[in-house]
Amino acid sequence: MRAAARVPLLQVVKTAIAVVASWFLATLLLPNAMPVFAVVAAVIVVQPSVNQTYARAVERSFGVVLGVLVALAAVAVFGQHSWLVLAATVVALFVGWALRLPPGSSAQIAISALLVLTIGAATPDYALIRIAETVLGAVVALVINAALAPPLATAPVRAAVGRLARAEADRMDDLAGLLESDPDRETRDAALVRVRELRTLRTDAQEAITRGTDSLAFNPRRSRAKDQFERDQALFARLDPLVTRIVGMTRTFHDQWDASLSDEPLVEGIAEELRRAAHDLRLLVRHEETAANPKRQTTPAPEAEPTPAPALTRPIALPEPNVRHWVLLGALLEDLRRIREEVVGE
């Protein structure tokens, strides 16, 4: 019965303003009718973002117009009959389905047709009044939502992308440590569980980007955050495939490990390159965060350089591995090569 979180207070305030403005404006322009439908439209149309408000305004207005046309067409063809109310409502539902309209529009077509055929039968101007009030309420809601500080959901994108990048670097360090040690089954299982959490972080970042994109559309304040948002999107595009690579490397190690793996001379080189990749990934994120908030870093870090070179530069010598390990080592090397391409932007 209760939502997990409240609707933002700003949205409630804007809805209330839209309701009052719609009422008085409709009363002024349509003095012979109580502006109920304008108020209903204002309540429904105001959404958290301007883009959602625009979509809901178009959806509701189009549904009302189409429902009125269905009702008028039914009366013109069959005349006034009680059974026509039920028939037109059913037909309106199928019209929405045939046009592949969203559920809100399909329902609005049926509701409008039903009201026109019942209430509108006694009020000749009912259909036109309903259309006029609905469009008026939707326009008022859209204008108010765009004018009163529409929120931008771009800051959570930067935070979510940063969390994903740091977690990826940590998991690469974890795998490097496992390669250089002799982990028991419990340790390997725990590493596999931790690395799978990257998928959740990736989903969180994807959802944040979706919300950020929606908040920027039709938003008059979008110029303030557009450039940074595009940089965050570009960084996520580089981080996204790393999740698959890191999870795959950890899973391969988990499934193909045996006690003699530590005797392979190639293992030490792979572990070192994983740490270099993790270092470069943290360096990349730190550079992006500094570019986004230059005022936060008043003095450079001791190890920082104006244009720091990536650490992932030294080639790995490839001695012939034990036949028991060539599948594992080959898979690790290929995933490591692809990780390097993403991290250093090659």
Position 298 scores a pLDDT of 44
Position 326 scores a pLDDT of 58
Position 63: which residue type?
Answer: G
**Using CA atoms, how far apart are residues 119 and 97, in angstroms rounded to an integer?**
25
Q: pLDDT band for 99, please (50, 70, 90 cuts).
A: confident
Give residues with Cβ within 8 angstroms of 47, minimum separation 6: 11, 53, 55, 56, 145
Same domain, 67 and 167: no
Same domain, 274 and 314: yes
Same domain, 172 and 278: yes
Q: Is residue 3 assigned to a domain?
A: no
SS3 category, 297: coil
Helix ranges (H only) for the chain are 9-29, 36-45, 50-78, 82-98, 103-118, 126-147, 155-179, 185-216, 222-256, 265-292, 326-344
Same domain, 127 and 170: no
Same domain, 165 and 57: no
Q: Is residue 49 assigned to a domain?
A: yes
Position 289 scores a pLDDT of 65
For residue range 50-76, list pLDDT tens digits in order: 888 888 888 888 888 888 888 888 888
**Using CA atoms, how far apart are residues 73 and 37, in angstroms rounded to an integer?**
22
pLDDT at 2 over 80: no
**Chain centroid offset of residue 233 CA:** 11
**Using CA atoms, how far apart are residues 278 and 74, in angstroms rounded to an integer?**
68
Half-sphere exposure of 304 (CA within 13 A, CB side): 12
Same domain, 140 and 169: no
Q: Is residue 66 assigned to a domain?
A: yes
pLDDT at 193 over 90: yes
Model pTM score: 0.69
Domain end (from 125, 147, 169): 147
- The rounded mean pLDDT for the chain is 81
Same domain, 302 and 174: yes
Position 56: which residue type?
Answer: R
Same domain, 35 and 137: yes
Please say whether the beta carbons of 288 and 280 come within 8 A: no
pLDDT at 239 over 50: yes
Residue with more model confidence, 70 or 266: 70
Residue with more model confidence, 84 or 122: 84
* Range of the structural domain that residue 301 is part of: 155-344
Q: Is residue 1 assigned to a domain?
A: no
**Using CA atoms, how far apart are residues 27 and 219, in angstroms rounded to an integer?**
29
Q: What percent of the chain has pLDDT over 70?
A: 83
Of the segments 8-12, 36-40, 47-51, 317-321, which one has the largest average pLDDT value?
A: 36-40
36: tokens are 């109920």
Domain end (from 123, 147, 171): 147
Least confident interval from 157-161, 162-166, 251-255, 333-337: 333-337
Q: pLDDT band for 290, please (50, 70, 90 cuts).
A: low
For residue range 135-145, list pLDDT tens digits in order: 999 999 988 88
**Using CA atoms, how far apart are residues 99 and 59, in angstroms rounded to an integer?**
13
pLDDT at 17 over 50: yes
pLDDT at 160 over 90: yes
Q: pLDDT band for 125, please (50, 70, 90 cuts).
A: confident
Residue with more model confidence, 34 or 237: 237
Q: Is residue 217 assigned to a domain?
A: yes
Same domain, 178 and 131: no
Q: With CA atoms as reference, report the closest residue to 74 among 41, 122, 110.
A: 110
Q: Is residue 4 assigned to a domain?
A: no
Q: Is residue 255 assigned to a domain?
A: yes
Position 145: which residue type?
Answer: N
96: tokens are 């929405």
Q: Is residue 91 assigned to a domain?
A: yes
Look at the chain and report how many structural domains it folds into. 2
Residue with more model confidence, 256 or 159: 159
Domain end (from 90, 114, 147): 147
Same domain, 327 and 234: yes
Residue with more model confidence, 183 or 165: 165
CATH number of the structural domain spanning residue 338: 1.20.58
Position 150: which residue type?
Answer: P
Same domain, 130 and 163: no
**Across 266-287, average pLDDT:** 84
Position 325 scores a pLDDT of 60
Please say whether the beta carbons of 95 and 70 come within 8 A: yes
**Across 109-126, average pLDDT:** 77
Same domain, 121 and 206: no
pLDDT at 310 over 60: no
Q: With CA atoms as reference, report the closest residue to 198 among 247, 252, 238, 159.
A: 247
32: tokens are 């012979």
Least confident interval from 92-96, 97-101, 304-308: 304-308
Residue with more model confidence, 120 or 74: 74
DSSP string, 174-219: HHHHHHTS---HHHHHHHHHHHHHHHHHHHHHHHHHHHHHHHHTT-
